[in-house]
């Protein structure tokens, strides 16, 4: 055992479980790639002000959860706590919004960091796949992203999740609601920190998970009652489009995402099999974020789906993914000449696109066949001096136990035939 361990609240991804994480990422990525989203990758750390301005200074993410550092040159940086602000910054820096048709459609995958109380489903290092459509105000874009996320979860085999949907209004109607909500909150028995938050952004209080706070919010005014006609019409179009696509959702007038930049459409995917950490993904529209971080007006919408929590949801439902075999053929060489020849055959198989491995370390037949079993290989390629003298190798089906001799120059064709 090593002297060192992974930091508290983090985890190592190791086989075979890591294959499930890769499959989840690939399945989500397939949906967005098929819809015209291009891949973007951003640094693991950014200027701390990018998140303070975009995510919001009143959020727990900025006030309590960001990992910050000072460089030798005195710059203040933060490990990225979420992906949207970084992706939008990258798009603006590269002037993608000036290079052709809008929206700019991007997807990303990576690790994110928040200093939170470590527990199942809530880590200090976590993995997400996200998608952003930048530069267009269109309810069809909002609907497209909700549908793509739904398709991704269904493609993985998940069924026991719910989609919560709400509208947070815009700069025209939200100020009226903000004032009404602040007036309501000032009359509650809240601690000083929560009251301070209510003055900065009262919607954040609606997202407070503490039971004693939630009890007092039962009669809080609802934003849907303050939406302007334009926001109501926009929201109804989103609802109609996803309904027509067969996506089932629940209207949740109290849904507030944990980031300050959301406007209008907001949604969350929740799985009741995960306990208190039920959200597996979510997102919404953020029409003012570009201007918050110094860019032009670029109405945008996006989501991020948690890979970690999606894996937990799969486990909660007992869903086992159909994972490709890490190794299809395992070569067992008995003797130096067999090692040289079979190593060449393994290389030949790999070049042909067949997953193949080799028994390293000079083990005997028994130990090498144990390695072949552990690898999960469908076929074993076995050869000793007698086989080579006859110009053949033994090809064994690890499932049926059947074995036959194959000419050295016919190994690739024989393997292809047996693997189908």
Closest CA to 254 of 288, 290, 213: 213
Query: Strand, helix or coil at 132?
Result: strand
Phi, psi torsion values for 23, nearest 5 degrees = -65, -40
Q: Other C-beta atoms within 10 Å of 299: how many?
A: 22
Which residues are within 8 A (CB) of 135 and not within 5 positions of it... i.e. 6 or more apart? 97, 102, 103, 104, 298, 299, 300
> For 362, how many CA atoms within 13 A lie in the half-sphere containing its CB?
1
Dist. CA 14–CA 22, nearest whole Å: 11
132 is in an annotated binding site: yes
Q: What is the 3-state secondary structure (H, E, C) of 88-119?
A: HHHHHHCCHHHCCCCCEEEEEEEEEECCCCCE
Q: Dihedral, CA atoms, 292, 297, 302, 304, nearest 10 degrees?
A: -20
84 is in an annotated binding site: yes
257 is in an annotated binding site: yes
- The alpha-carbon radius of gyration of the chain (Å, integer) is 27
Six token digits for residue 342:
């079979």
262 is in an annotated binding site: yes
The DSSP bridge partners found for residue 300 are 134
154 is in an annotated binding site: no
Dist. CA 197–CA 186, nearest whole Å: 11
344 is in an annotated binding site: no
Dist. CA 177–CA 285, nearest whole Å: 18
Residues at the annotated binding site? Answer: 82-84, 114, 128, 132, 257, 261-262
**Residue numbers belonging to the annotated binding site for L-histidine:** 82-84, 114, 128, 132, 257, 261-262
């Amino acid at each position: 055992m090593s002297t060192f361990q992974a930091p508290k609240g983090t985890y190592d991804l190791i086989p075979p479980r890591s294959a499930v994480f890769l499959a989840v990422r690939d399945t989500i990525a397939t949906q967005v790639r098929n819809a015209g989203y291009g891949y973007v990758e951003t640094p693991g750390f950014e200027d701390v002000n990018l998140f303070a301005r975009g995510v919001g200074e009143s959020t727990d993410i900025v006030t309590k959860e960001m990992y910050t550092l000072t460089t030798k040159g005195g710059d203040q940086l933060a490990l990225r706590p979420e992906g949207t602000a970084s992706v939008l910054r990258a798009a603006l820096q590269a002037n993608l919004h000036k290079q052709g048709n809008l929206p700019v459609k991007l997807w990303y995958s990576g690790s994110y960091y928040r200093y939170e109380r470590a527990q199942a489903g809530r880590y200090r290092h976590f993995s997400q796949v996200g998608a952003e459509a930048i530069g267009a105000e269109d309810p069809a874009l909002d609907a497209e992203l909700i549908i793509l996320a739904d398709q991704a979860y269904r493609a993985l085999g998940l069924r026991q999740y719910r989609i919560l949907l709400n509208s947070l209004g815009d700069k025209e109607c939200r100020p009226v609601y903000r004032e009404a909500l602040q007036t309501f909150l000032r009359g509650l028995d809240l601690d000083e920190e929560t009251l301070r938050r209510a003055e900065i952004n009262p919607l954040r209080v609606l997202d407070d998970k503490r039971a004693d706070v939630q009890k007092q919010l039962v009669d809080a005014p609802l934003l849907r009652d303050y939406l302007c006609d334009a926001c109501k019409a926009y929201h109804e179009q989103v609802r109609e489009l996803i309904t027509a696509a067969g996506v089932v959702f629940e209207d949740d007038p109290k849904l507030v995402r944990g980031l300050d930049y959301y406007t209008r459409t907001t949604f969350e995917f929740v799985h009741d099999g995960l306990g208190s950490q039920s959200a597996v993904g979510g997102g919404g529209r953020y029409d003012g974020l570009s201007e918050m971080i110094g860019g032009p007006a670029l109405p945008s919408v996006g989501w991020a789906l948690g890979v970690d929590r999606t894996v937990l949801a799969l486990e909660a439902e007992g869903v086992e993914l159909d994972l490709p075999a890490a190794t299809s053929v395992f070569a067992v060489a008995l003797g130096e000449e067999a090692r040289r020849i079979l190593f060449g055959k393994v290389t030949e198989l790999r070049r042909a696109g067949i997953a193949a491995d080799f028994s390293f370390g000079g083990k005997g037949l028994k130990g090498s066949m144990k390695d072949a079993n552990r690898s999960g290989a469908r076929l074993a390629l076995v050869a000793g001096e007698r086989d080579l003298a006859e110009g053949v190798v033994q090809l064994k089906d690890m499932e049926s136990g059947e074995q036959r001799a194959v000419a050295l120059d016919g190994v690739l064709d024989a393997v292809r035939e047996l693997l189908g």
